[in-house]
């Protein structure tokens, strides 16, 4: 089953949007299989954003993500990686579609509330970086027959 890594960034936590953001994935029908609340170390932040290491915004990105706690999550479901990116919306909240998390709650690219893996391969790397195997729960909700034919 496909899994994706999502993280509610410091701005989402500070603004009290944790419940609202989790609700969107929960009511859509995806399955939560991992959840933790943590202050991110510089080492983890730099590894997580490694692909952006050469970008001018890299230092401020690392500074920001380590500045205040985040909610790290793993969600499961067919097509969850791409679907979660749609629920999250475009990188710049100012131009993200209304109805998406970033489109509904943000105005600035450096404060876009949530991270979501951009492809299944990236998701595997990010899930392994943020979670140990034993921190992930293998389960199937009892409502599954009401969500899947």
The two tokens of residue 28 are: 């859509």
Q: Scanning the structure block, which residue is given the tokens 């509904």?
A: 104
Find which of Mg ion, ligand IDP, none residue 95 binds, CB within 5 to 8 Å per kind: none
- Interface residue with ligand IDP, options 13, 21, 61, 101 (CB under 6 A): 61
Name the closest residue to ligand IDP (Cβ).
91
- Let me know if 148 is a catalytic residue: no
Rounded to 10 deg, the angle between the 18-28 and 80-88 helix axes is 140
- Interface residue with ligand IDP, options 57, 79, 99, 121 (CB under 6 A): 57
Residue 97: other Cβ atoms inside 10 A = 11
Q: Cα–Cα distance between 102 and 54 in angstroms, integer? A: 25
Q: Give the residue with the Cβ less far from ligand IDP, 34 or 89.
A: 89
Q: Residue 14 in contact with residue 67, Cβ under 8 Å?
A: no
* C-alpha 115: how far from chain center: 4
Give 32's strand partners: 75
Binding mask 90-119 for ligand IDP (x = CB under 6 A): -x-----------------xx-x--x--x-
Interacting span for Mg ion (CB under 5 A) from 9-17, 58-66, 80-88, 110-118: 110-118
The two tokens of residue 29 are: 């029908």
* C-alpha 70: how far from chain center: 10
Residue 14 within binding range of ligand IDP, rule CB under 6 A: no
Q: Give the residue with the Cβ less far from Mg ion, 118 or 135.
A: 118
Which residues have a catalytic role annotated?
A: 115
Contact residues for ligand IDP (CB under 6 A)? 52, 57, 61, 91, 109-110, 112, 115, 118
């Amino acid at each position: 089953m496909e899994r994706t890594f999502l993280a509610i960034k410091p701005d989402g936590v500070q603004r009290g949007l944790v419940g609202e953001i989790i609700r969107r994935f929960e009511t859509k029908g995806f399955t939560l299989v991992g959840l933790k609340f943590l202050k991110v170390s510089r080492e983890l932040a730099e590894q997580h954003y490694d692909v952006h290491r050469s970008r001018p915004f890299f230092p401020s990105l690392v500074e920001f993500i380590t500045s205040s706690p985040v909610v790290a999550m793993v969600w499961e479901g067919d097509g969850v990686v791409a679907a979660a990116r749609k629920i999250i919306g475009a990188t710049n909240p100012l131009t993200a579609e209304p109805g998406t998390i970033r489109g509904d709650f943000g105005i600035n690219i450096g404060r876009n509330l949530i991270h979501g893996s951009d492809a299944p391969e990236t998701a595997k790397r990010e899930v392994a970086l943020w979670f140990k195997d034993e921190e992930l729960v293998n389960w199937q909700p009892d409502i599954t027959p009401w969500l899947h034919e």
